[in-house]
Amino acid sequence: MRLKISLLREPKHQELVSCVGWTNAEELYSCSDDHQIVKWNLLTSETSQIVKLPDDIYPIDLHWFPKSIGLKKQTQAESFVLTSSDGKFHLISKLGRVEKSVEAHCGAVLAGRWNYEGTALITVGEDGQVKIWSKSGMLRSTLAQQGTPVYSVAWGPDSEKVLYTAGKQLIIKPLQPNAKILQWKAHDGIILKVDWNSVNDLILSAGEDCKYKVWDSYGRLLYSSQPHEHPITSVAWAPDGELFAVGSFHTLRLCDKTGWSYALEKPSTGSIFNIAWSIDGTQIAGACGNGQVVFAHVVEQRWEWKNFEVTLTKRRTMQVRNVLNDAVDLLEFRDRVIKASLNYGHLVVSTSLQCYVFSTKNWNTPLIFDLKEGTVSLILQAERHFLLVDGGGIYLYSYEGRFISSPKFPGMRTDILNAQMVSLSNDTIAVKDKADEKIIFLFEASSGKPLGDGKILSHKNEILEIALDQKGLTSERKIAFIDKNRDLYITSVKRFGKEEQIIKLGTMVHTLAWCDTSNILCGLQDTRFTVWYYPNTVYVDRDILPKTLFEKDASEFSKNPHIVSFVGNQVTIRRADGSLLHVSISPYPAILHEYVSSSKWEDAVRLCRFVKEQTMWACLAAMSVANRDMTTAEIAYASIGEVSKLCSFVFFSLILNHTSFLPLQICRLLFFQIDKVQYINSIKDLPSKESKMAHMLMFSGNIQEAETVLLQAGLIYQAIQINIDLYNWERALELAVKHKTHVDTVLAYRQKFLETFGKQETNKRYLQYAEGLQVDWDKIKAKIEMEITKERERSSSLAGKSLMARH
C-alpha cells in the first residue's frame, strides 16, 4: 500500500494553507492566511474562490457539520465552522456566506469540532479554555480552564467525553459533572494535534518531540514512533479506523492503526498543518505551509486468498494474479474503488456508485448492481452470501446480486461498525451493540429478524471482538468472543427458552479467528499460539478439552500480533512491525471434521489410527459423544492416552509390587478414562432411545436436560433414578411425590445411603414420608424390574411402528 501524490505546479493560495475539509468524496474546501476560501473539484480539476474573508480574519481550523443527524441524511455537508486568530469562530454556509460570528476566546481559537450528532460544538483557544456551544452558537458551558494554550481537541466516540491537550499532557474529560478525569504525560514536547477515532476507539497524538503515538481510550500506549527530523504538525484517522496519516515538514506518512508505516512520501510542501480524509477513506488532503494543497490517493492495496492475489494498481483498476500459473487479469471499473474483499471464491468490490461481484473461476463477467449509498465502510463474506455496511444500514446480498435482508436494531449506528463488531455466517448475522458493549444482537441471515425467540446475547463484561463459526448446522452455530479482561468465551447462538451457557475457553486472548472450511478456532494467548481443534468439547467433556488443543510458542510473533486470516490449514498473522507470518497447522483435524459431518465414523477411526495422535482421538471422542455415536465414542475414549498400555503397566507394577513407583496423575488418568469407557459401554445396553439420550446428556454434564428428556418420554422412574445416582435427594423425592410413584424406592435408597456413612435422617421431608414405612427391598427390586421391562416393551413397540411406517 502506498500514497499516490498529486501537487499543482503553482499553488492556488499566496500564503500558508491552515486547514482543509471535504464536503463529499470529490469536493474540498481550503482556507489560507491569504484570507481566501477555495473550493477544489477533483472530478473536473477546477478550483474556484468561494469567499474572501476580511483582512483581520486569519483562519486556523475548519470542520464541516456532520452529514447524518439521527435518521436525517444529507448527500453532502452544507455548512462548516471556521476558527480564527481574532478569538472568534464563524458559522459559514457552503456558498461562503458567514451566517454567524461568535466571540469565543481571548486570543486565537485554535480548534473547533462538531460532535458526531451535530448537536454541539467544542472550541479551544490560546486562553487555555475549553468551551461547548450549541448548534446555533450559544455558549453552553466552559468545560475546562488552564494556564497553557490548548492546541487540539477531539470528541470521544459516543460524544460523552472530550480529549484535549495541555502542554505535554493529554486530558480526557467526561461531560458529566464530577466524573473522573483521565490525564497523563504523552510527549516530551508540546502536543500539537490529537484525533480520536469513533470506530476503533483509539487516540492519535503528535508533538514537538517529533513523535506520533497511538493510545487506547484508557491512556495506555500502544505505539510510539521513532523521532522524526521535524515536529509532527498533523495527524488524522481514516473514517473506518484502519489507517491514519501523519504530516510533518516535507513529509506525509501512511500508517496502519497499530502504528507501523505503509508508506512515506516526501512532497515539496513545507509543513503540513492539517490533514483531512475524504468521506470514503480513499484520499487525503493536506494543508501545506508553502500555499499548496497536497492530494494523496491510497493505492496498491492487496487482498490474498489461496492462490489469488488482487492489487489496486490505480483508482479504477485492479490486477488479479494467479500464483499457480502466473496468469494476470486486469479489472477496470467505471468509478473509483472504495472497498474490496476476497474470500470464499469471490471478489466483492464496491465503487462510489456500484458493487461488483467476481467469481475466481471467471474474471470477465462480473455481476454488477447499484448501491443505495455510495460510501461502503465494511464488506464481510461467508460461503453463501456477503454483507455490506454503509452509512444507511447493513445489507445482505447473495453472490448472484440478490438482496436478502437488512437487519436493524434500536440505536443502530452503522458508521462505527468494523470487522471486530460484526460477524457473518451462512445463516446468522451477529452485531455488537456500541451503546451497551455487553450485548450482541443476533439475526437470521435469510430474513434479518432476531434469531430464535428474540433474546439478545448478554455478557457480564464489555465485549471487544466477536466471531461466528462458519460450518455445520444452524442449530449448532456457535459464537466466540473476547471480553475486556481478554477472556475467550464460546456460546450457542440459538436462544430458545432457557439461557444458553457461556463457557470460558481461554484467558489472555488478544485476537481470534475461525477456520473457513471447518469449525476450528485459533487465537493468540499471552505467550502461546493456540488452536482449539474442536471447541465444542467444552459442551461434551471438559476434562479432555486440553487434549484437543495445539499450542505453539508465540514469541516469534513479537508484541501485539494480529490474526489476519485462517484459510484451510494456514493461519496468517501480522506482527506489530507490519510483516506477515504464515503458520501451518495439521490438516488431519479438518479431515476428521469432514468425516464426522458426513457420519463416516469408520473412516474417522481409521484416520485416527493412521495419525496416532492423542489430539485426534480426543477430538473424535468429543465429536462422537456430541453426535450420539456410542461405538465410536467407546473406541476413542479407550484410545486416549493409550489406556491399554497403561493397563498393562499397572498390571505388571502390581505383580512386581512396585505400585509406589506409579505416578499419581497416571493412576487418576487411567481409572478416570476406564470409568468413562465403561459408562459409555453401559449406555449402549440401555433399552430405549430416550434413556440413551438422557445418559449421554448426563455424560456431558447436562443433568437438567437429561431429566427433561426422560420426563417428556414418560419415563418417570428413570428420571427419579438419575437423581438418586447423583445424590440429588431433594429432587428425587419431589419427582416421586409429584408423580405419585416410587416414593418407597427413593426412601429406601436414601436409607441405604445414610447407613453406609453411619448417619441419621435429619431432612424434614424425608422424615415425614418415612413415618411408618417399612423398606421391602424385594418389593422395590420387583418394581424396578417391571419398569425396565415396560421401557423395553415400549421401545420395541415404537421400533415396530417405525418399521411398518417405512414399509
Query: Domains of the chain by range and CATH?
Result: 15-67+76-243 (2.130.10.10), 513-672 (no CATH), 686-806 (no CATH)
* Residue 646 confidence (pLDDT): 40
Exposed e or buried b per residue across 10-27, where buried means at least 16 C-beta atoms within 10 angstroms of its C-beta:
ebbbeebbbbbbbbbbbb
Confidence band of 798 (pLDDT split at 50, 70, 90)? low
Question: In whole angstroms, what is the distance from residue 308 CA to residue 328 CA?
Answer: 10
- Greatest extent of the chain over all pairs of C-alpha atoms, in Å: 111
What pLDDT digit, counting tens, does each position of 158-193 carry? 889 999 999 999 999 999 888 899 999 999 999 999
* Residue 56 confidence (pLDDT): 87
* Residue 758 confidence (pLDDT): 87
What pLDDT digit, counting tens, does each position of 226-264 carry? 999 999 999 999 998 999 999 999 999 999 998 999 999
What pLDDT digit, counting tens, does each position of 193-219 carry? 999 999 889 999 999 999 999 999 999
Confidence band of 225 (pLDDT split at 50, 70, 90)? very high
Is the model's pLDDT at 78 over the cut of 60?
A: yes
What pLDDT digit, counting tens, does each position of 610-637 carry? 998 999 999 999 998 888 888 888 888 8
Nearest to 734 by CA among 752, 722, 720: 720
What pLDDT digit, counting tens, does each position of 431-463 carry? 998 888 899 999 999 998 988 777 788 899 999
Residue entry with cell 500508517: 255
Question: In whole angstroms, what is the distance from residue 21 CA to residue 19 CA?
Answer: 7
What pLDDT digit, counting tens, does each position of 523-536 carry? 998 889 999 999 99
* Residue 671 confidence (pLDDT): 44
Question: In whole angstroms, what is the distance from residue 724 CA to residue 726 CA?
Answer: 5
What pLDDT digit, counting tens, does each position of 675-701 carry? 666 666 677 677 777 777 777 777 767
Is the model's pLDDT at 152 over the cut of 90?
A: yes
Question: In whole angstroms, what is the distance from residue 386 CA to residue 175 CA?
Answer: 39
* Residue 807 confidence (pLDDT): 54
When pLDDT is averaged across residues 53-58 and rounded to a whole number, the result is: 89
* Residue 655 confidence (pLDDT): 43
What pLDDT digit, counting tens, does each position of 345-402 carry? 999 999 988 999 999 999 999 999 998 876 888 999 999 999 999 878 899 999 998 9
More confident residue, 649 or 175: 175
Is the model's pLDDT at 29 over the cut of 90?
A: yes
The identity of residue 465, as a single letter, is E
Question: In whole angstroms, what is the distance from residue 494 CA to residue 155 CA?
Answer: 38
Round the average pLDDT of the chain to a whole number and report it: 86
Q: Which 3 state secondary structure label does DSSP give 607?
A: helix
Give yes or no for a contact between 450 and 442, defined as CB atoms under 8 angstroms apart.
yes
pLDDT-wise least confident of 96-100, 333-337, 785-789: 785-789
Beta-carbon contacts of 120 under 8 Å, excluding residues fewer than 6 positions away, are 114, 132, 133, 134, 135, 140, 159
* Residue 778 confidence (pLDDT): 80
Per the structure block, which three cell numbers stand in for 281? 477513506
Is the model's pLDDT at 294 over the cut of 80?
A: yes
Is the model's pLDDT at 761 over the cut of 50?
A: yes
DSSP string computed for 172-230: EEESSTTPPPEEEE--SS-EEEEEE-TTT--EEEEETTS-EEEE-TTS-EEEEPPP-SS
* Residue 805 confidence (pLDDT): 62
When pLDDT is averaged across residues 739-760 and rounded to a whole number, the result is: 85
Give yes or no for a contact between 161 and 202, defined as CB atoms under 8 angstroms apart.
no
More confident residue, 735 or 641: 735
More confident residue, 783 or 562: 562
Which residues on neighbouring strands pair with residue 19, listed in sequence order? 31
Is the model's pLDDT at 487 over the cut of 80?
A: yes
* Residue 619 confidence (pLDDT): 93
* Residue 68 confidence (pLDDT): 58
What are the DSSP E strand ranges found in 333-384? 337-343, 346-351, 354-359, 362-370, 376-381
